Amino acid sequence: MNGLAIQVQGLTKRFDERVVVDHIDLEVPRGHIVGFLGPNGSGKTTTIRMLCGLLTPDDGSGTCLGLDIRTQAQEIKRRVGYMTQRFSLYEDLSIEENLDFIARVYALGDRRNRVRAALERLGLESRARQLAGTLSGGWKQRLALAACLLHEPELLLLDEPTAGVDPKARREFWDEIHALAAQGITVLVSTHYMDEAERCHRLAYIAYGKLLAQGTAEEVVHQSGLHTWSVTGEDLAALAEELRAQSGVDMVAAFGTALHVSATDRERLSDAIAPFRNRPGLTWAEITPGLEDAFIRFMRGVADNVQ
């Protein structure tokens, strides 16, 4: 559990003239679940591929499981489980056949027992002979995770594994991830879901190729420097437009039946909302900013890297 599973400095990747990953420093402690967050096109997948040896960085250095990401990529691949963003197993093979194929790729001994154990662990026994192409999103997710675990990796790199999966399947998936972490397996998982981010031990947030924050959820929110008020009442859509026009307000966002009104300057924010706080029918309360508030704040200060 001690030490770092991932430690990279200045990690950079370019495609033609576009810098997709821009000098990232990232640390992932062993045995932890680290959420890797950011908008589409932010560089999450490219970073994950560099960490597991599928892409060579253009700049930067570091280690994954103590192995050099530049010179020991083949050894890293043997000790890491990588679950791609899209289902990448054979849809015309059964669940059991897919797992047996993966076991052959890794040249694993005692394949039959390893496959049987993987089926049991992910609750796939009753569907072992079902073709992968006929599975729902949640069952495909289970199969992909089972394939990642066959060779007993020390590190799992999961690229948006729950996209398009129903809430029940998502919860079951996260229960399994926490069980794996309790056994000492390190997990780096990219996600768009804030509820999933809150289930991680630590977070790293990337936007447009730049790493903007990392730490626990509380530390990331603190790094945003935001101060936030919640307001409830009637006609919040009109109120939001009025508040956005105030010079001391940086952000206004709807959250269910409330608005979150935020800024980095607490005194200016207080002055900006003062005329509205006595308005009949509105209830105001100062609150701790949420992760979504923090991430939107981080994005506002970074230029899009699309050329």
> What backbone phi and psi angles, to 5 degrees, belong to 193?
-90, 125
Residues 154 and 87 in one domain: yes
Residues 177 and 255 in one domain: no
Token pair belonging to 6: 């991932």
Residue 158 placed within a domain: yes
Q: What CA–CA distance (Å, rounded) separates 110 from 60?
A: 40
Cross-strand partners of 287: 228
Per-residue pLDDT of the chain (307 residues; tens, 9 = 90+): 469 999 999 999 999 989 999 999 999 999 999 999 988 888 999 999 999 999 999 999 999 999 999 999 999 999 999 999 888 899 999 999 999 999 999 999 899 999 999 999 999 999 999 999 999 988 999 999 999 999 999 999 999 998 878 888 889 899 999 999 999 999 999 988 888 999 999 999 998 899 999 999 999 999 999 999 999 998 999 999 999 999 999 999 999 899 999 999 999 999 999 999 999 999 999 999 999 899 888 887 666 655 4
Residues 203 and 245 in one domain: no
Residues 209 and 241 in one domain: no
Q: Are strands 33-37 and 202-207 parallel, antiparallel or unpaired?
A: parallel
Residue 21 placed within a domain: yes
CATH number, domain with residue 268: 3.30.70.920
Of 221, 247, 272, which residue constitutes the final position of a domain? 221
Strand order in the sheet with 155-159: 80-83, 155-159, 186-191, 33-37, 202-207, 210-215
Per-residue pLDDT at 192 = 81
Q: What CA–CA distance (Å, rounded) separates 289 from 141?
A: 32
Residues 162 and 253 in one domain: no
Residue bearing tokens 């998982």: 189
Residue 138 placed within a domain: yes
CATH number, domain with residue 122: 3.40.50.300
Residues 6+ apart with CB under 8 A from 214: 26, 27, 202, 203, 204, 205, 220
Residues 158 and 25 in one domain: yes
Work out the burial of residue 173: count CB atoms within 10 Å of its CB; fewer than 13 is exposed, 13-18 middle, 19 or more buried.
Answer: buried
Residues 6+ apart with CB under 8 A from 195: none
Torsion of the alpha carbons at 250, 307, 220 and 36, rounded to the nearest 10? 140
Per-residue pLDDT at 1 = 46
Token pair belonging to 99: 């797992």
Residues 184 and 240 in one domain: no
Q: Are 251 and 239 in contact (CB under 8 A)?
A: no
Residues 190 and 245 in one domain: no
Specify the number of domains making up the chain: 2
For residue 88, the enclosing domain spans: 4-221
Residues 175 and 244 in one domain: no
Cross-strand partners of 180: none
Residues 85 and 163 in one domain: yes
Q: Return the closest-CA partner of residue 40 out of 126, 159, 136, 122.
A: 159
Per-residue pLDDT at 299 = 80
Residues 233 and 209 in one domain: no
Amino acid making up residue 106: Y
Q: What CA–CA distance (Å, rounded) separates 44 from 111?
A: 33
Q: Return the closest-CA partner of residue 43 out of 239, 272, 205, 235.
A: 205
Residues 110 and 254 in one domain: no
Residue 147 placed within a domain: yes
